[in-house]
Chains A and B, each alone.
Chain A
Amino acid sequence: MPSISKRLFLILVLTTSLVWLSAVLWIFLSTRAEVERVLDARLMEAGRMVSSLISRQERDAVPDRSTTVEIPLREHSAYERQLSCQIWSLQGALISRSDAAPAEKLSEQEDGISETVVDGERWRVYAITNTDIGIRVLVGDNLSMRDHLVNDVIRGLLLPALFIVPVLAVLIWFSVRRGLEPLRKIAGDLEARHATDLSPIEDVDTAKEIVPVLQSLNGLFARVAGLRERERNFTAFAAHELRTPLAGLKTQAQVALASEDPAIRDQALRQIVVGVDRTGRLVRQLLDMSAVEALDHESEKRGVVRPSFVLRSLAAELADRARQVSVEVAPEMDAVELHIEPELFTLAARNLMENAVNHSPPGGVVRCRVAGQFEAGQVIIEDDGPGIPEEELPRVTERFFRGRNKAPVGSGLGLAIVELALGRSGWRLQLQNRDAGGLRAVIAQAA
């Protein structure tokens, strides 16, 4: 698993070392160039000085002497005797040399700077020819001395680095850990948290780079908590809606068994029939709901439906003859076709019409009509019932929600099924209370 602190540490240590090494390289190069420039200047100066000091007499006075004229140098430096001097006659005889100078000729070049190897040592030699007196002065610098000088400077830089770099590494390590402390704190919080704890993480003093992470985490927590809450509510409501009718059936059955009075017994049995009808409807709706949910996404948006056809057959089935509630389907609906999955439309229409009939007063009329043209067509189902209190309108499509004006057979699932079925096929449900009283349910194209 990659670790941010390790990564950061490596990056920082590597870049720091790289910067350090570049600086050393730059200092090395510039020191070497500078040393070369200064020492070459000194070399030339020394050559000219020797050349000007020697007179013709001196040249003649010490002819063919194999011993050298000593040019004494005080000996108290590591760089002592770095200069060697030879004086040659133009004929090629060594006239004189300094005591550290090799006997061999330092350079064959007649004038100017050159580099040679004599006796295995590298020399930088300046040659100057004095034609007046017929000599050539060679002044040489031992190059190993020069290297020694540059190396000393570089060593002076690198030695402290050997101590400083580890210290720097430790400092970087601690800084990285400290810098990542907020992250570690959140990770610790998350780790210590119980699996069911969905409360938001507090962001006291959180670094601003982590705030977005924290916000998305808290957003996720809120969504999961909401989902879980809805699930819990659904289970609770489902339990209530399933067990209450069962309790009613059992109680009525026990009443029928316990009572001696035939009137009470008959009434109890009638209530049992009502209870079984209601439970049957609830079971059907629960199955409808899971059928809609299980529908595969491909088939949802396909299909064309002739609403007049569906609504007429539903009307024949659902009209309540006992309470004289009738259903009217407007004739102009015959010309309308809707792009909606027929099964889903039938399901939605059935639940809406059932609601309308159940909420209608005795003798009431449920009207089905259309509004708008082909593409923007809407199917409208209206009743003369009590409508829905305005404050309940936003909640009526929640599963198992039952408002105050509930029908005795309602389960609170009907409108939830309608919304689910229409939503699946790109349509939506609008509910309005009519000015004249009653409810208007509109099946409209989703925006």
Chain B
Amino acid sequence: MRVLIVEDDSVLRDGLKVGLGIVGFNADAVESCEEANAVLRNHEFDALVLDLMLPDGSGLDVLKALRERRDTTPVLLLTARDQVPDRIAGLDAGADDYLGKPFDLEEVAARLRALVRRASGRPQALLEWRGLRIDPASQNVELDGEPVRLSRREYAILQALMVHPGQILSRSQIEEKLYGWQEEVESNAVEVHIHNLRNKLGTEMIRTVRGFGYRLGEES
């Protein structure tokens, strides 16, 4: 899952980025409203972690601009001001959840997973499809009850495909989920990961739709 962190404190920003990376997120981080707006206009994220007090303005302005663009990306507000009126102001501005500083890294991750799950319209935490079951919280993957070991990137591709079974994801969409916007995209990397996934899960599991991209295989 790809998330954008908007936080001006470098220690916290770095901690969130690395920490969320450890628990399976692909996190990018920026430190100002200006950068956040620019990145959000050009990239898609599964969720946004937004600090309220930024050097060049309020996170609420970023949030409002986002919602005005009809962007429904779930937003988790992080702030030192967690009095009830502040929470109400944040939620009314279009935030989906609110967390007061200092917080628990695990809780940030759990809330982000819940936000993404809700945004995709799924009530249950586990993703299941034809004997394949993945748990986004622990990143455990099971095929017909047997655990399967996947690399971080393989897992990310599989989860992206399983969020909306049947939906086709293009190669560039998959690359967006795999790499941060600062990262260099390796050519053929997606093909290599898909190949590895097919080896581990069976060739029928992921289908190539020529000219479009990939999707989970249909019942034939």
A residues near B, CB below 8 A? 236-237, 239-252, 254-255, 258-259, 264, 267-268, 271-272, 274-275, 278, 402-404, 406, 408
Contacts and interface: CB of A to CB of B under 8 A. Distances in A.
Nearest to B108: A251
B55 interface: yes
Interface of B: 8-16, 18-19, 22-23, 32, 51-53, 55-56, 78-81, 100-106
Contacts of A254: 15, 19, 104-106
Contact of A264 (B9, B22, B100): B22
A402 B78 CA distance: 18
Contacts of B79: 240
A25 B136 CA distance: 108
B102 A246 contact: yes
A248 B15 contact: yes
Nearest to A405: B55
Interface of B is mostly: mixed
B53 A237 contact: yes
Q: Is the interface of A mostly helix, strand, loop or mixed?
A: helix
A246 B9 CA distance: 11
A259 B12 contact: no
Contact of A245 (B11, B18, B81): B11
A243 B80 contact: yes
A264 B18 contact: yes
Nearest to B15: A251
Contacts of B104: 250, 254
Given A244-B9, A264-B22, A275-B11, 6 more contacts: A240-B53, A248-B12, A249-B11, A259-B22, A264-B18, A408-B10
A243 B101 contact: yes
Given A264-B22, A271-B14, A239 B106 contact: no
Contacts of A242: 80
Nearest to B53: A240
Among B11, B19, B52, B100, find the residue whose CB has the most chain A CB atoms closer than 10 A.
Answer: B11
Contact of B11 (A239, A264, A271, A402): A271
Given A250-B102, A254-B106, A404-B56, A268 B80 contact: no
A239 B18 CA distance: 25
- Candidate in B9, B79, B100 with the most chain A CB atoms within 10 angstroms: B9
